[in-house]
Chains A and B, each alone.
Chain A
Amino acid sequence: ETGVTQSPTHLIKTRGQQVTLRCSSQSGHNTVSWYQQALGQGPQFIFQYYREEENGRGNFPPRFSGLQFPNYSSELNVNALELDDSALYLCASSASSTQNGETQYFGPGTRLLVL
């Protein structure tokens, strides 16, 4: 069974640029959630995708957007990057159709640095 994978592992961008982060969910999981973790803080929920539709969103501006594909992989896009967007971006997958659908499994994250 393959776990959650994310790419790239590290990324450096400049302010105002756009970035796309990618996530492959764990085998059998149909729900993907994205989180932002600033240095020394707990992860903050960005949004969740279920069956290719956004299924909930945290307190993040519209320049944070996402996609989920038919194979349940997902992308996080951030436009007009700001310095405060520098963080570890985490993807988590879960199997909403099972009894333990609440359990989320995290990938290793993508470390984004905005200069």
Chain B
Amino acid sequence: QQQVKQSPQSLIVQKGGIPIINCAYENTAFDYFPWYQQFPGKGPALLIAIRPDVSEKKEGRFTISFNKSAKQFSLHIMDSQPGDSATYFCAASDSNSGYALNFGKGTSLLVTP
């Protein structure tokens, strides 16, 4: 059972565009929502994370928007660059489970020059 649903599966944007990746969850016990970036042949690297007590968090060109009532959160990449081409995963976890991560299926992003 997929506890975190992620869309779209793939995304193509031009350089400078703002790709948006969406995730939804059902378990209201989740209290930590990270995003990871993964390049081929590499392990996932933490990009940015948010807790449900805030509605938005920005770090550099990456922004998370969080809607607690809708149980949805999204990643926005500002001024996207070809080097941002990678697979992005959203995840959710909670303290009761030792923060074991429940991942979405991933979004393959291609930023064209």
| B44 partner residues in chain A, CB cutoff 8 A | 43, 90, 106
Does B46 contact A105, Cβ atoms closer than 8 Å? yes
B85 at the interface (CB under 8 A from A): no
Measured in the bound complex, the distance between the Cα atoms of B42 and A75 in whole Å is: 20
| A33 CB-CB contact with B under 8 Å | yes
Subset of 9 A-B contacts with CB under 8 Å: A45-B102, A48-B100, A90-B43, A102-B49, A104-B46, A105-B46, A106-B36, A106-B44, A108-B43
Asked if A2 lies at the interface with its beta carbon under 8 angstroms from chain B, I say no
Query: Chain B interface (Cβ within 8 Å of chain A)?
Result: 6, 32, 34, 36, 41-46, 49, 89, 91, 93, 95, 97-106
Partner of A103, one of B34, B97, B104, B105: B34
Give the CA-CA distance A90 to B6 in the complex, in Å. Answer: 21
Give the CA-CA distance A41 to B105 in the complex, in Å. 5
Among A43, A90, A108, chain B packs the most CB atoms within 10 A around the CB of A43
Q: Which residue of B lies closest to A42 (CB)?
A: B103
Assess whether A102 is in contact with B32, with CB atoms less than 8 Å apart.
Answer: yes
